[in-house]
A and B are shown apart, each in its own frame.
Chain A
Amino acid sequence: MPPELKTDTEQPEMWQSVESWMGSPQFDKMMKDEFPEDAGEWLDPVSRRQFLTLAGASVALAGAIGCNPSVRPASPRKVVPYVRQPEQIIPGIPLFFATAMAQAGGVGLGLLVKSNEGRPTKVEGNPNHPSSLGGANSFALASTLGLYDPDRSKNASQAADSTTNEAVANALLDTFKKLKDKKGAGVRVLAEPCTSPSLNGLAARFLASLPSAKWISYEPLAADNAVKASVAAFNKPLTPVYHLDKAKAVLAIDSDFLAALCPASVRNAKDFMAKRKFRDLESGLKAGDGVKPEDMNRLYSVESMFTCTGATADHRLPLTPTQIESFTRALATKFGIAAGTAGALPEFAQKCIDPIFEDLNSKKGSAAVIVGETQPPAVHQLALAINEKLDAFKANVVTFIEPLNPRAGDSIGELKALVEDMKAGKVEALIVLGTNPVYDAPVDLDFARALESVKYKLHYGLYKDETAANCTWHVPAAHYLESWGDLKGHDGTIALQQPLIAPLHGGISPLSFVSTLVKAAQDVAGVPEGQKTVETSDPLELVKAEARAYFTKAADSGDFENWWQHAVRDGVIPGSASKPVAAPAVNVAAIPTPAKADGIEVQFRADPTLYDGRFANNGWLQELPKPITKLTWDNAAIVSPATAIKLGCESGFGWTGGENGRTIADVVELTLEGRKLKIAVWILPGHADDVVTLYVGHGRTERAGKTADSKGFNTYKLRSTTALWNASGMTAAKTGETYFLACTQGQHAMESRRPLRHGTVVQFAKDEEFAQIPPVSAEEYKEIRANTPGTEEDWVRLHGKDGKKFPHSHTHAHGPTETAAKKDEPKHEEHKHDPRVIPLSLYPDNPQKVHGEDASKTYRRWGMAFDLSACTGCSACIMACVSENNIPVVGKEQVTKGRAMHWIRVDRYFSIPTSRTMEDTLGGKDVKDKVRAEKVKESANIRAHVMPVPCQQCEKAPCEVVCPVAATVHSADGLNDMVYNRCVGTRYCSNNCPYKVRRFNFLQFADYSTASMKLLNNPEVTVRQRGVMEKCTYCVQRIRNAEIEAEREWKLRPKDASDRPKIKDGEIVTACQAACPTGAIAFGDLNDPDSQVLRWKAEPTNYGLLAELNTMPRTSYLAAIRNPNPKMPQGA
């Protein structure tokens, strides 16, 4: 809402209701003066009254009915109840609206947001948006919690006192007036990087009015290095766009391009995995469903920290930041690039250079090198040169577009200049838009002190954060789900943001706020009335005006409104993608010489769950285990085992702890350039030696909110302009103190149990069934395989009768199936179903008989499959599940007790590949703890494997028989249902679940008390009480909704041949499946012969987790297949 919100200050002479009196400005003021803390809570019910108006408006837009100004969202007009129910609004039926969220660098990710009676409750990817294609990342998925965060700023303030928005606006105008003569010379705007065309347009107009003012784009983790390299190489800043679906080999240099930190990660992951989903089926192969083994791509990763990308890679080299630079130079030299002298490299890395070079070189035109933003410009420049040599530009594996944010380039340099100006007293007015430099600016700039010399300082943001505390004025920002806006995606496509709800706390949308700035600037500059370029501060009008540039008369019969409605509905402006720019020849002349390293190196990295700290008050993200380390609620100094030994540090599970929770870690004092920081040490196998990884974003103060308060360590205290990403010469000293960390998985090795089966393309060629053999009952593996769905019948149907022989030819219970393949293979008789495998049992045969018929033949059987080849461990599935199923946050203390509530978890195991099989050599009875520690310490070749584990929906579910009150029961379609109302909390089911996927409400974890958090919940899922067990049910609410819909449609239609309502494959998408950027999850009906999940389950690599226990899991896994380069040195 614009600042002129409360301009009509006249009080109603009579008030007819308490509400109208309470809504008056006088009342507001009294409330805010008297109970500033409670001001927001009083406002809450008033905002909620606007939900329905808003919902009506959104539908009006989405349905292309026409934009009725009287029901426009965020409109300050009267709120009235429905007289006639708007079309499409049916209470209880949610609606979806397209919008977009800004990620790192302001790059948009297109989203679809579910709205229940005007409450946004769930975020999903927007299939129309090129950066998303339906996938999402954990930041976007967790953003609904950010919306309802009770700690958000609820009112404008002056110093510590609350004030009104108009007071802020007046003060702003006064300040500008004082600077009138200087043409705004003392005015600085410090803004978040922004790709919004309308916002950037406003910024340009602001600068036009006040030509001496400066607009600085700042973000602590800005990707400046890539831009600098581009300027050096091409003489102009160009942004690369990767098309990984065209790449057969990718070299990632310190780049986590598959994970949530990279703005294009969702798309990257999808593209990359399109060439990695390994499929053996011939006739069943469908477009997008996988590749043949020989077409599988290959990924090399060179990095210090173990990232999702490193865990996915076929080969991973752990090197220190300086070694990575040396490695890049050495590799570039191979390509004939004058890359300067490479520094020293470990012998192992040297051996890898040749094979990597040969492999990449042999795949010219289908290979690419990707460099992470953390690497110095030289490495970026070399990568551009290598990509040029690899014909990546010619073959469009890498294309270039103009920068999405026109101000990107040298944010830290600009910030430095700003701070110098501030110290010199040149800055009279500083307006901070969204960023939080007091917390996250390089520490040597001492931003907070510099800020003291600024007279007028205004902070605009979602929270009254550290910077707001140091500013005189504060204006609450509207959340992205509360505002209109537009954002460019990674390829420049413009996504439209539309509000899903009126601002909960009277926050002002960025466009409104900036337009107020521009208006004030134009007022001051004396722009005559007629020539003012900003007539409105209505963000919708601003966005619309900007979008008009893309409207052509030819589209939609020349009707702009019609075209606009479509664009809003789809969430993207058609044809707005940036035009690719032909890459000029890469200039390698100016590559600077490498830096020398001494002492321990340190690298600062964005936190995988909090990014730069902006999500620190989001409990979902705090509690989301960070990929690979599985740490929650904290960051730490991450080191390799060898470095930990050097530092004399260790971590362990204390007497009172849990390896699935509490970990006691030693605390070290790090000294870098004279600055000191005490921080707990986390030992991570596979991390590069002699380098410490520090995640930024933790260690916020109480200003950041209750959730963020003192969680973790503020590593920004070490980060300076000279040590932005990587630095050397750090010293570390053990302090003798300890600190406890919350880690959800302390166990590293698979203990030779093979829960996660993995192999190579070569291994598969030798033995298709390598993934079938479980660690126990090895002779019975065919029967065990038969206990997981995906039967011989399916195989024959998908392969054709004359196709390949079925590798696992037995079904259970129904006896051997009489099929053509069976007759052709009489020798299979010897493996005839062994009744010992499923002896007399307390468990009924599921699915049960329905009307005397075997239900499995007649009705639906839900099943799920995970493709482990395609899973990066990014944990978006967890976040989606949390949001969909109202899963509570339990807090660090409870996580340390092993009580995290996530229904789906991502298991992580480490292994050391042997030359023979790439099998795990860390586990098993032959590997004693000490031997293992030695191996882990010395091995540079540690691999991480990830595996999402939700409820396996066992057909013979061990949890069901032991429940004394039948609170967990089997449905006819094979779901292992949980009846919360019936649960008395004996927890026996959890004990008896071999997968340990059941979660218990040990205390009252669900938040029943915070008003705004009630709005967050999905009304289709029970909010669980304490003392109740809960677990994944394949999003049963979605299944039942689809069934109801199908039944309804079927009733309305003339009956066709099939006597049951049909649900098409893909019509039901579980929350985790919808969010998965790589499409590693398939869900569907196993009775549907064309379902994707059935095709997956018929794969020879399909196996059931712990299927040897005869639980007959409905969820199964496709073994992870990697495609290692045989020429790489042994063990790599």
Chain B
Amino acid sequence: MAIATEEIGTYTPHPEGLIEGNHNLVTLGDKISTVVTGETPTPKVWWVFFLTGIGLLNCLVVALLYLFYAGVGIWGINQPVAWGFAIVNFVWWIGIGHAGTLISAILLLMHQKWRTSINRFAEAMTIFAVMCAGLFPLIHMGRPWLFYWLMPVPVNFGMWPQFRSPLTWDVFAVTTYLTVSVVFWYVGLIPDLAALRDVAKNRIQRVVYGILAMGWRGSAIHWRRYEKLYLILAAIGTPLVFSVHTVVSFDFAVAIVPLWHSTIFPPFFVAGAVYSGFAMVVWLAVPLRKFYGMGDMITTKHLNLCAKVMITTGLLVSYGYFLEVWMAFYSHSIYEVETTMQRMFGPYGWSYWVLITTNTIIPQLLWFRKVRTNDWLLLAVAGSVHIGMWFERYVIVITLSRDQLPSSWGRYAPTEWDYLTMLGSVGLFITLFTLFLRFLPMISITEMREFLPFKQGGRDGHGIMENAK
């Protein structure tokens, strides 16, 4: 199906700079689908990432086996810091999992055309991140084999979960989010899977993609139903973007631990989640541009826009940091004030300043266009945000070390098993994501085709939103 460039001719650049290069319907589809069909050779770097991911995943397996054998005491958690890395990582991953749905649902409803080339892998990122996140609350339980007691399962002992507990809300929030994200992602994939079926290079691909495409023929009625469903799912997904991290923040805000018990947490957490989610999008987009040559679809414009979202949410998060301190002193509560002082200058003060540096100060570089449009600088800033957002959760959890009663003040130090589990979850993410890159279209073929200007055979925008008008 490959068509030489000279046959297509040259087109004027995309008015918004969202697609570069000389693309028409065919070249676009080919570029994305040949990665999956194997016609484009898999970059060597893929193997580096994949094997790293598998290696780390093995760490996770070992860590979990030992964890289930011995108990959560292999971690550094203690009295008074009964939550440690597991919860830090949970919130961190959940936060990362936020950008996908935001991009695919909210930006869709907001008519943001630039979402088109990044939504697919961002959604995949969301699903994998939520899977990593979901792992932690399960394994952090003292008796993980009883996890189903947190769910309203009608069992013979006639007990329901305790609905006042934010952890119960968490179960609903996270499972709902995961379900909707997966459905949304899969529904979006169906036309692409059909396209892959049609260009499949061997029987296996044909069968597998054929089954996954669920009989998609591209008829008008198919398109109509598809677009309606996609829109409905976007509408369902939109509130979830806010609800998940709001509920996660309740884990802290409902508690009476000083500096946890705060109404700022829900918006603050949501902003932080979007912040880290976009940082992760950047982290995934830049290698795709570099190693898969997707720079013509994920353009500097995209990076620029992601960076703008980051600086906005970053400022919101920084405002949250300021407000936490402000409210502590404004409250005149000795516990709030002293705990703030401990947070800044106590034994874990360093982590607070790491947080402020990486999450508030370094991202100010994004005010510069040069930073926003330079792959590597942006990657560095996004890395800083990853560190910062991780430390934000660390700082919150570590607040437990010094609460109301000085007699029970303590400290927390992670063990090798904590680190192994954390790295292992990264391995799980990398493995899943590299597999996704290899076996599923990383960019939506359908939507990109629709997105092409009329001249190039597209419809100059997103069909769904245009049809909905």
Contact = CB atoms under 8 A, between A and B. Distances in A.
Q: Please determine whether chains A and B interact with each other in the same assembly.
A: yes
B147 interface: yes
A542 B236 CA distance: 87
Contact of B347 (A653, A755, A985, A1004): A653
A1002 B404 contact: no
Contacts of B147: 984
Given A661-B78, A991-B83, A984 B71 contact: no
B256 A776 contact: no
B168 A964 contact: yes
Contact of B333 (A776, A897, A987, A999): A776
B83 A964 contact: no
Nearest to A896: B78
A990 B400 CA distance: 10
Interface in B107-154: 137, 140-144, 146-147, 149-150
Contacts of A982: 149, 159
Contacts of A962: 164-167, 254-255
A325 interface: no
A990 B80 contact: yes
A947 B405 CA distance: 12
Contacts of A1106: 404-405
Contacts, number: 206
Contacts of B85: none
A1106 B406 CA distance: 12
Contact of B161 (A658, A964, A1105): A964
A899 B81 CA distance: 10
Given A964-B161, A991-B400, A1026 B142 contact: yes
A752 B334 contact: yes
Given A656-B413, A751-B338, A898 B79 contact: yes
A965 B82 contact: no
Contacts of B297: none
B410 interface: yes
Contact of B79 (A660, A983, A992): A660
Contacts of A657: 411, 413
A12 to B, nearest CB: 47
Interface stretch (A742-750, A821-829, A878-886): A742-750
B330 interface: no
B293 interface: no
A1003 B413 contact: no
Given A985-B72, A1002-B71, A755 B143 contact: no
A987 B149 contact: no
A254 B405 CA distance: 32
B256 A899 contact: no
A897 B78 contact: yes
A961 B254 contact: yes
B79 A745 contact: no
A992 B255 contact: yes
Contacts of A964: 149-150, 161-162, 165, 167-168, 171
Contacts of B337: 925
A1029 B77 CA distance: 14
B335 interface: yes
A1027 B72 contact: yes
A660 B410 CA distance: 5
A656 B84 CA distance: 14
Contacts of B72: 985, 1002, 1027
B467 interface: no
A990 B82 contact: yes
A992 B79 CA distance: 12
A750 B405 CA distance: 8
Contacts of A1027: 71-72, 141-144
Contacts of A905: 407
Contacts of B150: 964-965, 984
B239 interface: no
Contacts of B83: 987-988, 991
Contact of B80 (A660, A750, A777, A1026): A660
A95 to B, nearest CB: 35
A958 B256 contact: yes
Interface in B355-403: 400, 403
Contacts of B140: 986
Given A751-B406, A962-B165, A990-B79, A775 B334 contact: yes
Nearest to B336: A776
B76 interface: yes
Interface in A860-915: 894, 897-900, 905, 907-909
B65 interface: no
Nearest to B252: A991
Contacts of B334: 752-753, 775-776
Contacts of A995: 405, 408
Contacts of B204: none
Nearest to B256: A958
Given A961-B164, A965-B161, A990-B80, A747 B407 contact: yes
Contacts of A532: none
B439 to A, nearest CB: 36
B73 interface: yes
A842 to B, nearest CB: 5
Nearest to A1105: B405
Contacts of B70: 1003-1004
Contact of B77 (A752, A777, A987, A999): A987
Contact of B76 (A897, A966, A984, A1025): A897
Contacts of B144: 984, 1027
Contact of A653 (B341, B403, B411): B411
A965 B146 CA distance: 10
B335 A776 contact: yes
B268 interface: no
A1000 interface: yes
A750 B142 contact: no
Contacts of B254: 842, 961-962
A659 B411 contact: yes
A1001 interface: yes
Contacts of A1025: 143
A1027 B145 CA distance: 11
A889 to B, nearest CB: 14
Max chain A CB contacts within 10 Å: which of B141, B251, B255, B408? Answer: B408
A928 to B, nearest CB: 10
A775 B82 CA distance: 26
Interface in A636-691: 653, 655-661
A996 B80 contact: yes
Nearest to A900: B79
B412 interface: yes
A923 interface: yes
A23 B165 CA distance: 58
Given A653-B411, A658-B411, A992-B257, A749 B406 contact: yes
A996 B80 CA distance: 6
A1109 interface: yes
B246 to A, nearest CB: 17
Given A962-B166, A1003-B70, A987 B411 contact: no
A678 to B, nearest CB: 27
A616 interface: no
Contacts of B167: 962, 964, 986, 988
Interface string B56-83: 0000000000000011111011111111
Interface string A980-1024: 001111111011101110111111100000000000000000000
A1028 B142 contact: yes
Interface string B153-196: 00000011110111110010000000000000000000000000
14 contacts: A753-B334, A753-B335, A898-B80, A909-B407, A947-B407, A986-B142, A988-B255, A990-B82, A996-B79, A1000-B142, A1002-B78, A1004-B71, A1028-B143, A1109-B256
The 4 closest A-B CB pairs, nearest first, are A985-B142, A1027-B142, A1002-B73, A898-B78
Given A984-B149, A991-B80, A991-B400, 10 more contacts: A655-B413, A753-B334, A776-B332, A897-B76, A899-B79, A966-B160, A986-B141, A986-B167, A988-B251, A1109-B404
